[in-house]
Amino acid sequence: MKLKILVFISLIGLFFGCTNKLNMGYYSVIEKNYIFNANAPIAVVYDKNDLLSAYYVDLIVYELQRQGFVGVYKQSDLPLKDAKNAIFIKLFRSIRSYPNINYSYSMIDDGVSQACYWYGDQFYCGAKTNKTFALSGYSESFNYLSSYHFVLDWYDLNLKKRVLYIDGSVNGKTCGYNLLFRDLISHTITRIDFSRPERYQYYSDLPYYWPCR
């Protein structure tokens, strides 16, 4: 009996372990052989009309400082004329539609007799025709896929060129998690590799108290 209970608990844990995760992505493009200076003055720039990005700019500055970039400031605290690098940031939600087509099939007469034969000098065919499995109709609808993005566009102002581009994302079901962008920012900045471009998917656990149904 105890063994059955343990197996049941394990299955429940496995189920919730699979559902209580965010499907996240990381994509980056980097300027080859560029050397990033952790001590250089860096301004974090955003559109002042973008309230979502403005809300999280302090967290972004903090997370970059945690990675060793001690000279990171908001543009309001460090004018671009005094900065060596500028990081343009944007947080947004994207919604894409994709078609969903359902086909239906049924048995229909193909017009070909089941049996034909010679009898004497005459050729006969039966009245009964063959049945065949064929497409009889279809229906079309649209589904929608939501994704959430955190983009960092890193420029060297002296060279006047982009040196790093990063797109961190959350795709699919989010379970109404209200700290989604906070976690996306933290995960994305922590995963930055300044030596190579990368592209991969990964999973992030939701808090145990946030069930995903």
Distances (CA, A) of 66 to 69, 134, 160: 7, 63, 26
Tell me the pLDDT band of 11, cut-offs 50, 70 and 90: very low
* Domain chopping of the chain, boundaries: 19-98+144-205, 100-140
> How many Å apart are CA 180 and CA 55, to the nearest integer?
13
Tell me the pLDDT band of 10, cut-offs 50, 70 and 90: very low
Tokens linked to 151: 């983009």
**What is the predicted pLDDT for the residue at 17?**
45
Q: Are 153 and 163 in contact (CB under 8 A)?
A: no
85 pLDDT exceeds 90? yes
Do strands 21-30 and 42-45 pair parallel, antiparallel, or not at all (unpaired)? unpaired
Question: Which of 185, 211, 193 is CA-nearest to residue 24?
Answer: 185
Residue 157: which region, alpha, beta or left (left: phi > 0; alpha: psi -120 to 50)?
A: alpha
Distances (CA, A) of 213 to 9, 18, 93, 201, 210: 18, 11, 21, 22, 10
213 pLDDT exceeds 80? no
Do strands 116-119 and 129-156 pair parallel, antiparallel, or not at all (unpaired)? unpaired
> pLDDT digit string (tens) for 161-197?
999 999 999 998 888 888 999 999 999 999 999 999 9
| Greatest mean pLDDT range, 2-6, 48-52, 61-65, 109-113 | 61-65
> pLDDT digit string (tens) for 96-152?
766 677 777 676 665 555 566 666 677 666 666 666 666 666 677 666 678 999 999
Query: What CATH number does the domain located at 19-98+144-205 have?
Result: 3.30.160
Question: Which of 32, 21, 59 is CA-nearest to residue 201?
Answer: 21
Q: Which amino acid appears at position 77 of this protein?
A: D
**What is the predicted pLDDT for the residue at 152?**
97
**What is the predicted pLDDT for the residue at 98?**
61
H-run or E-run covering 180 = helix 180-190
Beta strands of 14-156 (E only): which ranges? 21-30, 42-45, 72-74, 85-113, 116-119, 122-125, 129-156
> pLDDT digit string (tens) for 56-82?
999 999 999 999 999 999 999 999 999
**Arithmetic mean of pLDDT, 32-46:** 95
* Tally of helices (H runs) and strands (E runs) in the chain: 3, 9
